[in-house]
Amino acid sequence: MARGGPKRQKAAALTEDLALHLRYVRSAVIVAIAALRRQNCELDEDIARLLQRCVCDRIDDQIEKLEKRPMPPAVPGGRPSTPRVRRA
């Protein structure tokens, strides 16, 4: 059995997946912010600011917390976790 046990390894994999998905969400919000600002409508800047402060900044905080958590050692011969991407 690898150090940390299977539960710890599963938790580490879930944490890595969660951080990755948060990065995807943050990227989508950043694109929306840029699009709103480019339109240059009166309310678009307010909405962009709201997205930046209430969504992107909070997502960044969560990613930082996840990255600061200690991770167990990798499993020898184990395969890395891959995120599931939903197709429209």
Residue 41, phi-psi category: left (phi > 0), alpha (psi -120 to 50), beta (remainder): beta
Residue spans of beta strands (DSSP E) within the chain: none
Residue length, the chain?
Answer: 88
What total of structural domains would you count in the chain? Answer: 1
Residue with tokens 């600011």: 49
- Name the residue range of residue 50's domain: 5-68
Cβ(50)–Cβ(27) under 8 Å?
A: no
Residue with tokens 């891959």: 82
Q: Is the pLDDT of residue 9 over 50?
A: yes
Domain contains 49 = yes
Q: Is the pLDDT of residue 17 over 50?
A: yes
> Residue 19 half-sphere exposure, CB side, CA atoms within 13 Å?
16
pLDDT digits over 25-63, tens only?
A: 888 888 888 888 888 777 888 888 888 888 888 888 888
Domain contains 55 = yes
Domain contains 16 = yes
